[in-house]
Amino acid sequence: MSDPRLMSPDADLAVGVALPEFHARLTRSDLVRYAGASTDFNPIHYSDHAAAALGLPGVIAHGLLTMGVALRAVTEWIGDPQRVRGYSAHFARPVVVPDDDAGVTLVVTGSVASQTDDTALIDLNVTCDEVAVLTRVVVEVAR
């Protein structure tokens, strides 16, 4: 655990402890790579024309890609992805990814909401351009 943000399991899962703010950039190239890995080739994830035809504001990131990127805020903080026992979220707004080199940035914040002897629940806030894209995000982590 060379990352100074990572703490011992006892310290990092105390109720009220905040996770370090996490930033992740998504570009169209990321969407293409994710489409290949997931075999989700829905054209709304790469074609402005297809997205517009469905009334979307532009090409949107895959929902599960958005969830996976957000979960990295927790897994990098606790240092072991195998400690994740459960994860739930509601999609509030699509993540529109422009056709440029800058892409968009997801910002994840959160804190430990509760704990038992065995697990802790971490509530996350996931935004893009200061607007929530995932809501009611809860990650259950083994202590």
**Domain hosting residue 99, numbered range:** 9-25+62-142
Total domain count, the chain: 1
Supply angle C-alpha 36, 46, 54, rounded to 5.
Answer: 125
Q: Residue 17 is encoded by which pair of tokens?
A: 């402890």
Reported as type and span, the H/E element at residue 61 is none
Burial class (CB in 10 A: 0-12, 13-18, 19+), 48: middle
Place of tokens 């994740």: 84
Q: Residue 3 to residues 55, 75, 81: CA-CA distances in angstroms?
A: 43, 12, 15
Instruction: Tell me if 1 is assigned to some domain.
Output: no
pTM equals 0.89
Place of tokens 């080199």: 101
Instruction: Please tell me the predicted confidence (pLDDT) of residue 3.
Output: 46
Q: Which of 31, 21, 24 is nearest to 105 (CA)?
A: 24
- pLDDT per residue as tens, the chain (143 positions): 344 444 444 447 999 999 999 999 999 999 999 999 999 999 999 999 999 999 999 999 999 999 999 999 999 999 999 999 999 999 999 999 999 999 999 999 999 999 999 999 999 999 999 999 999 999 999 98
Instruction: Please tell me the predicted confidence (pLDDT) of residue 95.
Output: 98
Instruction: Please tell me the predicted confidence (pLDDT) of residue 12.
Output: 75
Query: For position 132, which CATH number holds?
Result: 3.10.129.10
